Structures are given as structure tokens and as C-alpha cells.
Amino acid sequence: MATEIKVPTLGESVTEGTIGEWLKQPGDAVAVDEPIASLETDKVAIEVPSPIAGVMQELKAEVGDTVEVGAVIAIVTAGAAPAAKGEEAGRKEQQADEGKEERSDAASSDSSQTLSPAVRRAVLEHGIDPSTVKGTGKDGRLTKEDVIAAAKAKGDTPAPAASTASEAPAPAQAGARGTERVKMTRLRQTIAKRLKSAQDTAALLTTFNDVDMTAVIEARTKYKDLFAKKHDIKLGFMGFFAKAAHLALKDVPSVNAQIDGDEIVYHDYVDISVAVSAPNGLVVPVVRDVDKKGFAQIEKDIADFGKRARDGSLTMDDMSGGTFTISNGGVFGSLMSTPIINPPQSAVLGLHRIEDRPVVVGGEVVVRPMMYIALSYDHRLIDGREAVTALKIIKEAIEDPTRMLIDL
């Protein structure tokens, strides 16, 4: 019996996606709930599973095609894959013809493991056998980091396998220059449009301050072992800044609001979007109800988002909503930046690297671990006084974390 595979519901306000990659081809065996295609949406890349076990019969769309929710993209026939005539002869011919590149999903058919595009590229680049690597991603699937770690464990970076060597282009002559055109992913196109829209629509302005990180560093040093033992998660900086931001947003509600037409929408809750680097670009999953959560749960949520962003398992619900954003460019070494707001939000907090700098404390010059922080905001809604006040509240809470406990 043939079953139509349709584009699933992709989330609120998302009506279409783009076929990013076919993970199964006609004639391939398919297990129940096994991904058959990777679908790119405006926010995340998701996998389309097969509802039945059987054989991939037909593909109704090509890579790069835009498909709407509910559209039929493939046909799967129930039952086992038929054995092709001359299969043994074909197998021998394939073994003899080492110039052909083997499909990575065929190499791992016994384990029913499907590799994402990023993982597949890493496997080929490092010459790693994916069946020998234990995956740390969702349901034990391989991540790019798993492959890179396996390559490092081997102590070298092997050249590409012989099966691809014959297809490699000849080395460029000395002094020659070349170009490469790569189609933008749907996610990258959406990021570009949203950021440009923010610049075109909002009256963007950024205010800066610097923070003495001494108190937070001392607190982490003193309690990190007890915290990890009790909560099974590391005590990071983001938990401190999320709670500090909560204090600021509560005292300055406009920073937690947004413009909708000719109205201002105020929120009595704090849902913080946390910028996370993913293989296809920057994504901003949402830590909900920061105003009600403790440090441990906030850190767990952020760690989980980071892991799932790397292995591509974030969902549309993870990305939806958010009343304020925190972006930490410091993890990449940034000293200072002017972050762009995440529409329809009205403000974003930018964090940067910590470095020892001379500062004056009590009339004396001392060396302290300092961080520049930036608050970019929509001046249509937020006045300069409000923005500066909000950033000052964050600074004071970080320099004296006790304020977070006694609600000051």
C-alpha cells in the first residue's frame, strides 16, 4: 500500500519550507519514523519522518523546491525492499569501480543511521567511518563535533577517501584566483531579511556601560562545585545576566515591550531569546518564564538549547516568542559591538569578553576583570533615559549579585 508523505505543520505563522536534502532515494528501505528529508524553514531545519516502514517509491519535489504545509513530497510503499536482479553482480562491479563515490547512507544502512549534510561533509573531509563513532546527538545520531573529535583522536587529518579523489579538481596554478557561488540557505536568507528589516523599520540606538565581573567570578569559583553536584549543571555567566535582565525589564517595562501597529504591547512575563551559534547560522531559542526560574533551570535550558542547535534538533516552538534577547559575542572574543534587535522585540543586550583592565576603586588604581555591555534599543518606543537606566540596573546586579536575591 502506498502512503503519501506530506509537509508537516511547521509552527505558528510558518506556511512553507524548502527541501534542503533528500535523506532517502527511490528504492531505499525506510523504517518507521526514520527521517526521509531535511526541510528548511524561516527559523530552523527540521526532518520529515516516514509514518510507515517500507520502500521509498517516488520523490515529488527536488532539493531547493519551496513546498507548502500539507503538500505531498514523497510516496512510500509498505513492505520490504525487493531484491534487484543481478544484485550480486552489481555489487561486485561497484567494488571494482573504486572511482565512484559511495553514498554515506548506504554505508550505514545496517544501523539505519542518517547523516545530516554538515556531518556528511565532515565524514568525507576527515576520512572517518561513521559506523565506528558513537553519536551524542538526539537518539544517538552523529554530530559534526563527534566526527571532529574522532578525527583528533586518530592524531591526524586524513586526506579524502580514494572514492572521491578521482573527482577532485586539479590544484590551481600558483597565483590563480577563483570564486565559488553557494546558494544561501533559507535560514540565512531569513536572517538577512529580518536584520535588514530591523534597520529599516526601527530607530536603532545603542548605549554602553562596563561591568566589574569580580563578584560574579568569585561567586562561581566559590559555589561551582556544590552547584554542579546539586543541579548536575555548570554555573555559567548567562544565568547571572538573565536574572539581572529580569530585574531591569521589571523596573523598565518598555524594554520588555514591542510595537504592534499603533499600539504598544507590554508583557507581564520575561521570555529571553538567547543567541546560539548553529551550523547554518545564528538562532535564538527562547528561555521562557525567566522571572519564575532559578539559576539552575536557566542554565539547564541554555545548555540544552546549545546542544540541540549544534545537532539540528531545535523545534519551531523553541524559537517562537521571546520578549528580550541576550547575545554573547564574548565567547568569540568580541570586545565591543552594537547588536541588532530581534524583531518584533525592542531591545537586545550584548555581552563581550572579560579582560583585566586598570580601574579606579576607592581612589586607587586596581586591576579588575571588566566587561563592556551594550543595550541596543528601538528609540521609537524606548527613551534614552529608560535604556540607560535598564543597562545600569543590569550592571549593578552583576557587580552586587545579592541584589538579585533581595529584588533590588
Domain boundaries, the chain: 1-82, 103-164, 188-406
Comparison of pLDDT for 105 and 143, the residue scoring more: 143
How long, in residues, is the chain?
408
Residue type (1 letter), 242: A
- Taking 50 as the threshold, does the pLDDT of residue 89 lie above it? no
- Of 53-62, 141-150, 166-175, 275-284, the range with the lowest mean pLDDT is 166-175
Q: What confidence score (pLDDT) does residue 111 get?
A: 39
Residue 87: band (very low, low, confident or very high) from pLDDT cuts 50, 70, 90: very low
Q: What confidence score (pLDDT) does residue 6 get?
A: 87
Residue 308: band (very low, low, confident or very high) from pLDDT cuts 50, 70, 90: confident
C-alpha distance from residue 372 to each of 188, 234, 334, 343, 396 (Å) = 28, 23, 10, 24, 13
379 is catalytic: yes
Average pLDDT (115-135) is 73
Which is catalytic among the residues 65, 225, 317, 383? 383
Question: pLDDT of 204-233, one tens digit each?
Answer: 999 999 999 999 999 999 999 999 999 999
Alpha helices in 19-131 (DSSP H): 87-96, 104-107, 117-126
Q: Which residues pair with 374 in a beta bridge?
A: 208, 350
Q: Do domains 1-82 and 103-164 have the same CATH topology?
A: no
Place of cell 547571572: 240
Which is catalytic among the residues 251, 317, 379, 400? 379
Q: Which residues contact 381 (CB under 8 A, 6 or more apart)?
A: 254, 257, 258, 259, 264, 346
Domain formed by 188-406, architecture: 2-Layer Sandwich (3.30)
Q: What confidence score (pLDDT) does residue 132 get?
A: 82
How far apart, in whole angstroms, are the C-alpha atoms of residue 206 and residue 228?
36
- With a pLDDT cut of 90, the percent of the chain lying above it is 41
Q: Which residues pair with 72 in a beta bridge?
A: 6
Q: What is the DSSP string of 124-152?
A: HHHT--GGGS---SGGG---HHHHHHHHH
Instruction: Tell me how far apart the terminal alpha carbons of the chain are, to the nearest angstrom.
Output: 66
State the cell numbers at 381: 518606543
Q: Which residues contact 281 (CB under 8 A, 6 or more apart)?
A: 185, 187, 188, 191
Per-chain mean pLDDT for the chain: 82
The DSSP output letter for 91 is H
How far apart, in whole angstroms, are the C-alpha atoms of residue 351 and residue 242?
11
Are 266 and 253 in contact, with CB atoms under 8 Å apart? yes
How far apart, in whole angstroms, are the C-alpha atoms of residue 174 and residue 237?
48
CATH topology of domain 103-164: Dihydrolipoamide Transferase (4.10.320)
What backbone phi and psi angles, to 5 degrees, belong to 287?
A: -90, 110
CATH topology of domain 1-82: OB fold (Dihydrolipoamide Acetyltransferase, E2P) (2.40.50)
Burial bucket for residue 367 (CB in 10 Å: 0-12, 13-18, 19+): exposed
232 is catalytic: no
**Residue of 327, 322, 330, 321 whose CA lies nearest to 339:** 327
**Residue of 319, 332, 310 whose CA lies nearest to 118:** 310
CA diameter of the chain: 88
- Coil, helix or strand at residue 112: coil
Are 348 and 206 in contact, with CB atoms under 8 Å apart? no
**Residue of 27, 165, 191, 3 whose CA lies nearest to 105:** 27
